[in-house]
Amino acid sequence: MSTHGDHGTEEYQHSSASRELLILYATETGTAQETADRIARECRRVHFHCRVQSMDAYPPATLISEHLVIFVVSTTGWGAEPRAMSSLWNMLLRSDLPNDLFEDMDFCVFGLGDTAYEKFCWPAKKLSRRMQSLGGYEICSRGEGDEQHRMGVDGALDPWIECLLEVLTQLYPLPHEQDNIPAGRPPPRVSLSNVGSDTSLDPDPLDEDTNFHTASVKCNRRITAEDWFQDVRHFEFSFEDDIKYNPGDVAVIHPSAPASEVDSFLVIMGWANVADDFFTVEHTMLDQTLPDHLPKIVSLRILFTRYLNFNAVPRRSFFQLLRYFAIDELEREKLDEFVSIEGADVQDEMYDYCQRVKRTIWEVLSEFRSARIPREYVFDLFPPLRPREFSIASSIEFHPREIHLCVAIVRYRTKLKIHRKGVCTSYLSGLKLGDTLRIGLRKGFISLPTDPNTPVVCVGPGTGIAPMRAVIEQRIHKGHTNTTLYFGCRSAHKDQHYHKEWESHAEEQKLRYRVACSRDGPEGVKRTYVQDLMKEDAQYIWTMLGQQRGILIISGSSNKMPTAVREAVRGAAERFGGRSNAEAVEYVAAMEREGRLIEECWS
C-alpha cells in the first residue's frame, strides 16, 4: 500500500497553518459516529481542528476541495456499505472521474466490521482502493476494527490512532513554540445555561423534520403463539400524509425510554430534584457530534427519555472520562486499570466486567458511586439514544397511507442472569391503538425487476419475512405470478409468520410457497432449513435464477443462513447449469454485481 511514509516525510510536509481536518463517518448502529468523535478528540492533541459529519449530510461534490480527510465506515449486511454512504459512494464510482481528481488530498480510512462474516470491513477496503485510484494519498494504513475482538473495535482503534497522530505530526509539523497537548480531561462539547420555568419551549425538531410523518397506531398484534418463547408483533400505522415508499425501504423510529427507568436512573445519579429544570444547550466543541433532533432547551428528564442512552454497554472511552469524576481512591484505581493499554490481563478484566456480561452504563454508575458527573458532560459520557430502522412489511399499493412492520420484541438474560429488553422494541410493544408517533422513511437496497417475466426468489426466515411481504404484495398487485418464497421458522404452529396469507396466495397460484420448520421433525433427525429446501429444489432454482435470469433476495439474520443460501445456488449451477465449482462461484458473484442477488440482512 502506498503511503507518504514510502517517500520520506520532508518532501511531503505541509504548512503548519493547514491544520484543518474533515472526518466523515457512515454508521448504522452509531459505533462509527462514536469512533469519529473519538478520533477528533485525539487529533486535538496535535492541534488539529476537526469537522465531524455524517456522509449523508455532506455534499459529495465538495469533497474535491478538502485537503485532509479521515473516513470512518461501518459494514452492513453482506459486506454492503451503510445507507449513509450511498450518495458519496455512487459519486465516487462515476466512470468519468479523472484519476488525478484527489491528487491534492491526504486521506486515511478506519473500517468497522465483524470477522465472523466473509466480507470483513468490505466498504472501508473498497473506499480505500477507490480513493487511491482517483489520486488520493493514503497517509497511514487502513484500520479495521473487529467486533469479535475482546475490546471490540477499540482493540484496533487505539493503536491505529497512535499511528495516525505520529503520521500527522510528521506531515504537518507543529510550530517550534507548540508541543503536543498532554492527555487529560477534555472540555465538554456543550455549554449549558439555566432558564426560567416559565420559558416557552421551541417546537420539537422531530415534528419539524419533513422526512418524518405523523403516524397513528392501527394494530399492535402478537403473531407468535402465546406460549412461544419469542414475542413477534405485527404493527400497522396509518398516516394522513400521502407517504410513498418501495419494497425494501425502512421505517425509522425514535424510541423513548420507559418513565419508570428514567426516574430510577435520575435518583441513582442524584439528579431527581433537578430533573425537570430547563436549560439551554450551546454546542461549543464542534468536532464532537450531538444527538439528532436535539432541542435547544431541554431538561435532564427529557434528555434521558429521548436523547441519551443510559442502558448502552460502555466502551473504553467511557471509563477514560469517568475516572476524572470519581472521588473514591479505590474506584479511581479500578478505572485506571480498565483504561490501561498495558497487558492482555487488563483487557481481559475489563472485558469480563463489561462486554462479556453486557453491563450497562447505568449499572456501572451504580457501582462507581463516588463519581460526580457535571451536567455539561452528559453528552460526552452517554451515547445518543439512536433511532432504530425496521424493514417495512407492506406494499403501499396494497395498503395506501399505511406502513406495516414485523418486529421481534427483544428480551433476554445476560450471563449475570439479569433481564434485558430492547429500548425501541419495548417502546413499540407498549404502544396502544390510537397512539401517535413520528416515523421516517429511508431508501433500502432492494430493486425489483420491471420485466413481468423475470422471476423473483425470496428467502426470508424469521422476521426476515418483513421486506419479503412488501415484495410479494407489490408483485401480486402488478399481476406478477412468478414469485417464490422460502420461509424458515421453528414450528409450523408457533412462529410461521403470515402463513395464512402465503397459503392463500399459493392456492390462487400467485405465489410458490415453501416452508422449513426446523424443530417440527422427530428427535435425532437432521433439522431442515431454507437452504435445505433450496437444495431439494436445485433444478427449479437453476431454472428460475439461471435459465430465466431471475432475482434472488435474501433477508434475515446475518448468521450462517446467507452463506448457506449462496451455497445452495452454487450447487444448483453445478448440478443443472453444467458449471464447474469455480464457474459456479463466479456465477453467484456475477449475480451480485449485476444486482440479481440482493441481501438485506442484519446481525
Report CA torsion sign: 99, 101, 107, 109: negative
Are the beta carbons of 502 and 511 closer than 8 angstroms? yes
Are the beta carbons of 271 and 304 closer than 8 angstroms? no
d(CA 376, CA 160): 29
Cell of 506: 399459493
Instruction: Report helix angle 31-43 to 154-171, nearest 10.
Output: 40
Q: Which of 401, 306, 440, 417 is nearest to 358 (CA)?
A: 417
Task: Tell me the three state secondary structure of residue 189.
Answer: coil
How far from 150 is each of 118, 234, 342, 413, 558, CA to CA, in Å? 19, 36, 14, 20, 20
Q: What confidence score (pLDDT) does residue 387 get?
A: 94
Beta bridge partners of 21: 50
d(CA 408, CA 425): 7
Q: Strands (DSSP E) along 171-255, which ranges?
A: 190-194, 212-222, 232-239, 250-253
**Matching residue, cell 449523508:** 56
Q: What confidence score (pLDDT) does residue 552 get?
A: 98
Length of the chain, in residues: 603
Which distant-in-sequence residues (6+ apart) come within 8 Å of 559 by Cβ? Answer: none
Q: What confidence score (pLDDT) does residue 347 get?
A: 67
Q: What is the largest CA-CA distance in the chain?
A: 81
Are the beta carbons of 325 and 368 closer than 8 angstroms? no
Q: What confidence score (pLDDT) does residue 414 get?
A: 83
Q: What confidence score (pLDDT) does residue 57 get?
A: 93
How far from 466 is each of 160, 322, 406, 449, CA to CA, in Å? 39, 41, 6, 19
Are the beta carbons of 145 and 113 closer than 8 angstroms? yes
Q: What confidence score (pLDDT) does residue 514 get?
A: 98
d(CA 396, CA 400): 5
DSSP string across 266-295: HHHTT-GGGTT--EEEEE--TTS---TT--
Q: What confidence score (pLDDT) does residue 549 get?
A: 97
How far from 214 is each of 115, 189, 394, CA to CA, in Å? 40, 32, 18
Are the beta carbons of 95 and 47 closer than 8 angstroms? no
Cell of 495: 412462529
State the SS3 of 369-431. CCCCCCHHHHHHHCCECCCEEEEECCCCCCCCCEEEEEEECCEEECCCCCEEECHHHHHHHCC
- Using CB atoms within 10 Å of the CB of residue 403, give its burial: 0 to 12 exposed, 13 to 18 middle, 19+ buried: buried
pLDDT along the chain (603 residues), means of 10: 43 62 93 95 92 95 96 85 92 96 97 86 96 97 91 89 94 77 83 88 93 98 97 98 96 97 96 96 95 96 98 91 95 88 66 87 95 96 95 97 97 85 95 98 91 96 97 97 97 97 98 96 89 98 98 89 95 97 96 92 74
d(CA 126, CA 149): 22
Q: What confidence score (pLDDT) does residue 600 get?
A: 85
d(CA 76, CA 68): 26
512-517 β-sheet, strand order:
512-517, 483-489, 456-459, 551-557, 597-602
The residue type at 49: H
Strands 388-391 and 279-283: unpaired
pTM of the model: 0.91
Q: What confidence score (pLDDT) does residue 81 get?
A: 86
Task: Tell me the three state secondary structure of residue 76.
Answer: strand
Which distant-in-sequence residues (6+ apart) come within 8 Å of 440 by Cβ? Answer: 209, 211, 212, 213, 251, 252, 253, 387
